[in-house]
Amino acid sequence: MVSEKMVMDALKKCYDPEIPVNVVDLGLIYDVQVNDSRVDIRMTLTATGCPMSSHISADAKAKVQAVDGVESANVEIVWEPRWSPEMITPAGRRALGME
C-alpha cells in the first residue's frame, strides 16, 4: 500500500537544479493525494516562468512512479498560493545557510 510518507520520501530526492535543496524542504509541495496506486501532486516553483519547470515536474513524477505500488503519478504545477522563502522548512533553511 502506498502512503503519503513514501511519496514525500521520494520527492525529497527531487531537486531544483539551481538550488541545492529538495522540493519538499523548499516548500514547493502543496498537496499529495494517494488513491490506491495513483498519486496526484500539486506543487509550485520558486518563480513563474522558471526555465526548469518541465524538468522539475518530470523528475518529481519519475521519482514518485518509482515508488513500489505506484502505477501512475500526476504532477500539477500551480501558482496559488504564491511561493515565498517563508515556506522553506527548517532543514531547508539550514542547508541554505539561512539559520
Domain count, the chain: 1
Give SS3 for 43. strand
Domain that holds residue 28: 4-82
pLDDT of the residue at 5: 97
| Domain at 50, CATH number | 3.30.300.130
Name which of 7, 3, 11 is nearest 59 in CA terms.
11
Residue 92 lies in a domain: no
φ and ψ of 37, to 5 deg: -105, 5
φ and ψ at residue 43, rounded to 5 degrees: -140, 165
pLDDT tens sequence across 10-50: 999 999 888 889 999 999 999 999 999 999 999 999 988 88
Distance between CA 19 and CA 26 in Å, rounded?
Answer: 9
Q: What whole-number distance in Å separates Cα of residue 16 and Cα of residue 11?
A: 11
What residues pair up with 31 in beta bridges, in sequence order?
42
Residue 15 domain-assigned?
Answer: yes
User: Is there a domain that residue 89 lies in?
Assistant: no
Mean pLDDT of 71-98: 95
Tell whether 98 is covered by a domain: no
In a domain, 93, yes or no: no
Q: Is residue 68 part of a domain?
A: yes
